[in-house]
Amino acid sequence: MSELFGVEGKVALVTGGSRGIGRMIARGLVAGGATVYITSRTGSEETAHELSKEGRCLPLKADLSKESGIRALTAELRSAESALHVLVHSAGTHHVASLEEHSAEAWDDVWSVNVKAFFRLVQELLPELKAASRPDDPARVIALGSADGARVPQMDVYAYGASKAGLHHLVAHLARRLARQGITVNAISPGTFPTEMLRPALERWGEETVMKQVPMRRFGEPSDIEAAVLYLVSRGGSYVTGAILPVDGGLALR
Ligand SMILES: NC(=O)c1ccc[n+]([C@@H]2O[C@H](COP(=O)([O-])OP(=O)(O)OC[C@H]3O[C@@H](n4cnc5c(N)ncnc54)[C@H](OP(=O)(O)O)[C@@H]3O)[C@@H](O)[C@H]2O)c1
């Protein structure tokens, strides 16, 4: 199984790996035999402890809204590993507020974590990604985009929707720039996974109404996202770059 995954013995960093979608991704990579570093501001220790029952998972604490957090994280990773085969940026934040109340602080926070941190991590970790790259097996960078970056969001998430559309664009830009350096850059664009981030929508409209928005009439499950990531990091994904892969049951089609 792990040969099919192609992550056995590789090193991965999953931001936002403490919970939600990041945790699902980290679990899949750990089960595939990778050494997986997970980061967040809180909760990574507990998650790493749980995931370590299946393999190798290590916690790193970082606030990615701050440049100091990004520098500390990359320095810590660099002191432990000389090569990084997989970088997944799942850390993300959103802010729900009306047009009149959508604050400048919310814009700064959302864009710092969702877009700027992704760019800065790729920039800082380029030497380690290049060190991991092989001619037939490129290093892989994956960002978590969103269906809200591909359509007008239902909720009042102005900064968030724009940040995810920007992230999709940045993925394409970096993919083009890094293709000749043996690094693929792709995005997975989830729809509705019942995590902390979906809570405001579930509280406002209820589960049934939210689910009715999804053409396939179900929420995303851990195996949906795990398998999508494992495809992108496997042999099958080695010739794929600049893709925005919807894992949303058709949500963005609406
Ligand atoms: N759930 C969905 O249906 C859905 C749909 C579309 C897109 N997405 C995207 O998928 C990704 C994961 O979402 P999720 O649903 O798993 O959200 P979540 O459950 O809220 O998890 C967010 C993760 O990001 C971390 N994080 C937030 N702010 C951070 C900061 N300043 N510094 C470092 N880490 C930070 C959180 O840890 P701490 O708070 O402890 O730092 C947590 O680990 C996000 O990029 C999101 O936009 C999710």
Neighbours of 186 (CB within 10 A): 25
Whether 100 lines ligand 1, by a CB cut-off of 6 Å, is no
228 lines ligand 1 (CB under 6 A): no
Q: Would the CB of 93 count as within 6 Å of ligand 1?
A: yes
Structure tokens at 40: 């967040």
Q: CB of 139 within 8 A of CB of 184?
A: yes
For residue 6, the model assigns a pLDDT of: 84
Q: Which among 207, 107, 205, 220 has a CA at the least distance from the CA of 161? A: 107
Distance 93 CA to ligand 1 centre (A): 5
CA dist 32 and 26 (Å) reads 10
- 2-253 belongs to which CATH class? alpha beta
Residue 160 is a catalytic residue: yes
**Phi and psi at residue 62, in whole multiples of 5°?**
-160, 140
- pLDDT at site 1: 42
pLDDT value, residue 204 = 94
- C-alpha angle 89-91-95 in degrees, rounded to nearest 5: 135
Distance CA 83, CA 64 (A): 21
Whether 185 contacts 197, CB under 8 Å: no
Per-residue pLDDT of the chain (254 residues; tens, 9 = 90+): 444 558 999 999 999 999 999 999 999 999 999 999 999 999 999 999 999 999 999 999 999 999 999 999 999 999 999 999 999 999 999 999 999 999 999 999 999 999 999 999 999 999 999 999 999 999 999 999 999 999 999 999 999 999 999 999 999 999 999 999 999 999 999 999 999 999 999 999 999 999 999 999 999 999 999 999 999 999 999 999 999 999 999 999 97
Mutation choice for ligand 1 from 144, 154, 192, 216, CB with most ligand atoms inside 8 A:
144
Domain boundaries, the chain: 2-253
Substitution candidate for ligand 1 out of 24, 25, 40 with most atoms within 8 A of CB: 40
* pTM, full prediction: 0.97
Q: How many CB atoms lie within 10 A of CB 39?
A: 28
Point out the ligand 1 atom lying closest to the alpha carbon of residue 16.
Answer: 43
Task: Identify any residues that bridge with 190 across adjacent strands, giving them in sequence order.
Answer: 247
Name the closest-CA residue to atom 42, ligand 1: 16
Helix (H) or strand (E) holding 40: strand 35-40
pLDDT computed for residue 2 by the predictor = 42
Contact 144 CB / ligand 1 (< 6 Å): yes
Does any ligand 1 atom lie closer than 6 A to the CB of residue 189?
no
